[in-house]
A and B are shown apart, each in its own frame.
Chain A
Amino acid sequence: MFDLSILIYSLLGLHILGLFLFPFIGKSKKLYLYSSTLLSTLSLFAAAILFYVVYKGDSAPVELVKWQWLSAGSFSISMGIMVDFLGASMALVVAIVACMVQWFSLSYMADDPARSRYFAFLNFFVLAMLSLVFSSNLLQTFIFWELVGFASWLLIGFWHHKPSAANAAKKAFIVNRIGDVGFVIALMVVLAMIGTFNYFEIIENVSNTRVFSGAWLLPVQEGPYPKFQIVDASVLHLAGFGLLLAVMGKSAQFPLAIWLPDAMEGPTPVSALIHAATMVAAGVFLVLRYFFLFTPEVLDVMAVIGALTAFMGAYAAFSQFDIKKILAYSTISQLGYMVLALGVGAWSAGYFHLVTHAFFKAGLFLGAGVIIHFVAHNTDKADQIDPQDIRNMGGLRKALPILHIFFLLCTLSLMGVPGFSGFLSKEAILTGVMTRAGEGSWAWMAIAFLAFLTVLMTVLYMARLYSYVFLGSEYRWAKINHSLSLKLGVPVAILGLLSVGFWFSFSIDFSHSWFLHRLGEPLLLMSNLPGNLTVSEFTSIGKSYHTYITFLSIGLVLIALIASARIFRNPRHDIARQSNHWFAKLSANNWYADMLNHYLIVLPTLKISQLAQWFDAKVIDRLVDLFGVFVVVVSTIGYWFDRTFVDGSVNFVARLSAGIGGVAGSSKNASVQGYVIVAVTLFLIFLVWIVFVL
């Protein structure tokens, strides 16, 4: 048996090395860039071996390493590395996309003066992402969860001199922080109620608990007469909703999806790696890993959010003209599908879509990168056109023929055309949704309707993108002999080829997919979770729906393809061009989400903070000052009293004595001796008075 921990160490170690080489050889850019890319290629091999070993091996998750990280009294946290098929396959996906992106970036970022820093950031991201995948501890997961967010901040704002990039980076981090607070709340519940963060111990402890008519029974004493602590089940929901909030932030779900379109300010390969394939999928991965913590109530909400996100993202993609924005909204929509799948209990379908989406979307983004690069380099600078605007493209089928093929493969996969990976995973999700809808109420039917509608819309917006970019007249590029460089072409080609369904299932249908079968079924601990769909159930319970779902969705794809062939043949028919049309306006502005966010969240928060500032300065500090003034006034009064009465009486005595002295002095027989006698006599009288009277 191959020692897995060595593989994982080398996987992580290669990226640590990649990161730590930066301060030493970062100055010589070529050396650093190539060694970093080489290291990531090696890590791809390590990930592939790991995947193969795990695939062949035992299916149960194992904890390879565990060490105590911190302890304080009764509180202690361990860190650890765990591996199972879920983790190993996710690591392989991350490694593939990361490696492709690094090769791609070698050429794509070749002119950037800060490209060493860029590669160091990429290494940091991959390191954090892989650590997240292998983490065996919920707190540890949170740590890397935040660190991938930090990497995303670094890379979105990579061109920090661009105000829009700096703004987008900030927005992404803060919106993600909202989700992170949800994660923290879940952590608090897990520690307080379950007592541990370790994945395996959580499983053990949760399986001892019971959920029972609105109460959560936690064992406090084991043995033949177990005792339970009764907690309101809402505490358990709280953990689930907390994690859901975290997922909504990281995986860009409605209403926290607003950061993802802006994140396109980062370099395009970054969008492919972080904001399409891996980091945004971390939210989905979290649900996959800790599926047993989600109660049915939470899962229902998750399904609704996923369906809404899938629909809203697809709708917003309709009227964008920025090629990266279209792909970003498409990512939001596809992430919505994954979350929807998890919400209806189609656990394995959700993960399947994560994997297939990672490849075809990364391929699309890298392809878009090539296109943007091409347009930017082959148009007159004086025209000042936006190289990301699809209206400035057109006819690239001839100019970039090889890219066209692989971009088309990815596009067809995203559309869900039979024979492609996207078809398999989307069918699996739709089957799951319909199975849930079939036993549920009209609300579930509405969700299923949204899911099918999104199939249609996906085809439409991708066909629109394709027609704008590749079809049409090519006279503009006619003179240019553009050959795709290998470094740019090979990664897109590989990702394009991975979008073919063949890799995941030898038949056209998902129910025979080796991937789904190997993935198995989710771990369920609490008895009252809803009918979670497993592979076997897809083929048994789902059978009644399965066939007609397949036909329905193929039909939808066909209809949409035919419709788009008619619509987009002439770009003037594109509704997005009628910028005053409500449909186009709503779509182009992404449901006015940014505006709503600005007016409902950002401005009120700033207003409240100004109010707090006013309160601090005018009320609290004023009270302090008033207290000071009060003390000064009191002391002034005291001083006045002192001057007038205390000192006054002294002066009075002085004047009196002066008067007496005057009287005495005025007598004719005045002499010094006489004064002395008077003074001494008075002093004696005073002494006697003090001693005997007081």
Chain B
Amino acid sequence: MSQFLLSSIIFLPLFLALVILVIPAKNQALQRILALLGTGWIIIASVIIWLTADTQAGIYLYELAPWFSLDLNTLGTLKFDYFILADGLNLPLLLLTGISLTAGVLASWKVREKSKAYFALYLLLAASIAGCFLSMDFLLFFLFFEFMLLPMYFLIGIWGGPRRSYASIKFFLYTLFGSILILIVMVAMYGNVVDVDASAAKIGLTESQTNIEYVNKGLANGDFEKKDLVFANHFVNLNTSLNEQSTQVLAGGLLDGNVENRFMGRPLRYWAFLLLLIGFLIKLPAVPFHTWLPDAHVEASTPISIVLAAILLKIGGYGLFRIVYPAFPDAALHYAWWVGLLGVIAIIYGAMNALAQKDLKKLVAYSSVSHMGFVLLGLASFTSEGLNGAYYQLFSHGLISAMLFMVAGVIYDRTHDRLIENYAGLASLMPKFAVLASIAFFASLGLPGFSGFIAEIMVLLGAFHSNSVNSLLPMWMAIVAALGLILAAAYCLWTLQRMFFGEVFLRKEIWRLEMVDLSRREMIILVPLALLTLVFGIFPSLLLSVTEGAIEPLIKQVFENAAMFNAKLDGQ
């Protein structure tokens, strides 16, 4: 059964999308249930993998099948595979995908307008997000990565708010722009990263280990012609340690850090890193590439906001972990200071902006920007606690932002108005809702006991520690970033106080009839999310025991590989 478990995560939602297309439009209940089935399966499958996984092993489960290859004659052979895999780096995010998409389906329960198209697109989105996390072949990844934009564009553009066309086109073009940067690097990598195993096979060598060394040596000496080589780009190979190197950057190629391959004085590798970095920073989003996010959130409907914040943004962070840092470790260390600075700026600037917002959803959107800054800061620190904390933040923010957008959605559902100043004292009208909103906001400001605390404290500790461990980040960065905690408390508690406490006030008296407490469906969305943030806040080992196995080797290899590339650079 486990043979096609991974594929089922991608293809079951896809299949169900097709089923929804053929069932009658009137049968809306069935559409909803199928959508729930598709997204629920992602949860079930990832829990199965999680429970059966041997966390000591690097890779839990994988499926590898040849997809197609292009023989470019003198340019060598390009090999593309259908390669999907679950390990400590994507499994938590896969689970998060399932959780947030399921929450999204439940939040879409009342979509009646063109519901057939809606749920079909929604499942398409689910499949492409899951595919994006699972793929290990760069082309396959890119395919899913790009494909995600299409359903998202329509989901914002058709079921969104008044300025939905502007927001959706902005979202589409902006992220497409980032994709193009990634595409450039992908093309460059496909011509320059040699799959040593496959090349050895092509040359006619069969015994594996010695031949890998032979090919590696030959590559280093430039013994082989390009036409003998096979180029492939599996992420998992970027990440293997040096002694069993099965991926090799083509000597003298574009991505070899030698003197000729420079542009404006910097090795092309550095430029490739920067392009990839910006590509994923747009997705994350990091300041100054973030302005698509508030617009997209404000115009998107509640479920789409949940999906957008909880999981789409995480692909940006995941890309950094999975692709950017393993592929260009030397550049990553070289630019760590700048990445850390971007993180600090995002934390403070995002929080400042959140403080100024009048629209609840925009406030949450800017708080996302601020929280994603912690991911960058943690990544830049290259310490155990920093990287694990950054990853924890990805996961934790997924849960918390889903809750916060649901809170905004609950209010919007009732009144079609999201201005903070139009409400006060909601706690007296909707006590259950006030409790859950308070939990969401306190989780967001990083109260101990909630998952956000673990993430943020680990990132801050790691960022400060970096100075004495690897001298990448100065001490002031962590200290300035810590100020973000005050701002987070300010915007969260101020919002809570203004909207939920004090005397009851509603801008329009007629709203009072609408402001009934949470329905059972809304409870079913919010309560499990609240419990999950608590569980992951109290038992951090649940998640860390999984991610540690992927992140620790990553840190080690980044330093080792960076040393190798830097030695090459110095040798010239």
Contacts and interface: CB of A to CB of B under 8 A. Distances in A.
B355 A72 contact: no
A163 B505 CA distance: 11
Interface in B420-465: 425, 427-428, 434, 442, 447-449, 453-454, 457-458, 460-465
B457 A166 contact: no
Contacts of B497: 166-167, 169-170
B540 A70 contact: yes
Nearest to A624: B291
Contacts of B479: 185, 188
B119 interface: no
Interface stretch (B194-202, B218-226, B409-417, B487-495): B487-495
A139 B544 CA distance: 18
Interface in A38-91: 68-75
Interface of B is mostly: helix
A189 interface: yes
Interface of A is mostly: helix
Contact of B384 (A73, A142, A169, A185): A73
B501 A161 contact: yes
A610 interface: yes
Nearest to A189: B464
A173 B493 CA distance: 8
Contact of A69 (B287, B442, B490, B541): B541
A235 B494 CA distance: 34
B447 A170 contact: no
Contact of B448 (A147, A178, A621): A147
Interface residues of B, number: 67
Interface residues of A, number: 55
Given A181-B485, A610-B356, A613-B357, A170 B468 contact: no
A170 B494 contact: yes
Given A161-B501, A163-B501, A620 B425 contact: no
A610 B353 CA distance: 7
A72 B489 contact: no
B349 interface: yes
Interface in A442-468: none
A343 to B, nearest CB: 24
A33 interface: no
Contacts of A147: 447-449
Contacts of B291: 616, 620-621, 624
Nearest to B496: A170
Interface in A146-175: 146-147, 150, 153, 157, 160-163, 165-167, 169-170, 173-174
B482 A146 contact: no
A147 B450 CA distance: 11
A610 B494 CA distance: 15
B465 A188 contact: yes
A408 B322 CA distance: 70
A612 B312 CA distance: 25
Interface in B539-562: 540-541, 544, 547-548, 551-552, 555
Which one of A146, A177, A178 has the greatest number of beta carbons of chain B within 10 Å? A177
A71 B548 contact: yes
Interface string B9-40: 00000000000000000000000000000000
B82 interface: no
Contacts of B547: 72
A229 to B, nearest CB: 8
Interface string B350-367: 001111110000000000
Interface stretch (A382-390, A494-502, A601-609): A601-609
A169 B501 CA distance: 10
B486 A178 contact: yes
Interface in A176-219: 177-178, 180-181, 184-185, 187-189, 191-193
Contacts of A143: 448-449, 453
A193 B479 CA distance: 15
Interface string A292-321: 000000000000000000000000000000
A161 B502 contact: yes
A173 B383 contact: no
A684 B403 CA distance: 73
A184 B463 CA distance: 12
Nearest to B467: A192
A163 B427 CA distance: 12
Which one of A139, A142, A157, A610 has the greatest number of beta carbons of chain B within 10 Å? A157
Nearest to A177: B489
B168 interface: no
B500 A181 contact: no
B489 A70 contact: no
B461 A191 contact: yes
B109 interface: no
A608 B482 CA distance: 18
A516 B385 CA distance: 42
A613 B290 CA distance: 13
A628 interface: yes
A167 B425 CA distance: 12
B164 to A, nearest CB: 17
B490 A161 contact: no
Contacts of B271: none
Contacts of A613: 352-353, 356-357
A150 B457 contact: no
B150 interface: no
Contacts of B500: 160
Contact of A174 (B174, B464, B489): B489
8 contacts: A71-B544, A161-B503, A181-B486, A187-B461, A188-B461, A191-B461, A229-B468, A616-B291
Interface of A: 68-75, 139, 142-144, 146-147, 150, 153, 157, 160-163, 165-167, 169-170, 173-174, 177-178, 180-181, 184-185, 187-189, 191-193, 229, 231, 235, 605-606, 608-610, 612-613, 616, 620-621, 624, 628
Which 9 A-B pairs have CB atoms at the shortest separation, nearest pair first? A73-B384, A166-B501, A188-B464, A613-B356, A72-B388, A163-B502, A143-B448, A609-B355, A75-B385
Given A184-B482, A192-B469, A613-B357, 17 more contacts: A72-B384, A75-B385, A139-B457, A147-B448, A150-B442, A157-B501, A161-B501, A161-B503, A163-B503, A170-B497, A173-B489, A177-B485, A181-B486, A187-B457, A192-B468, A610-B356, A612-B352
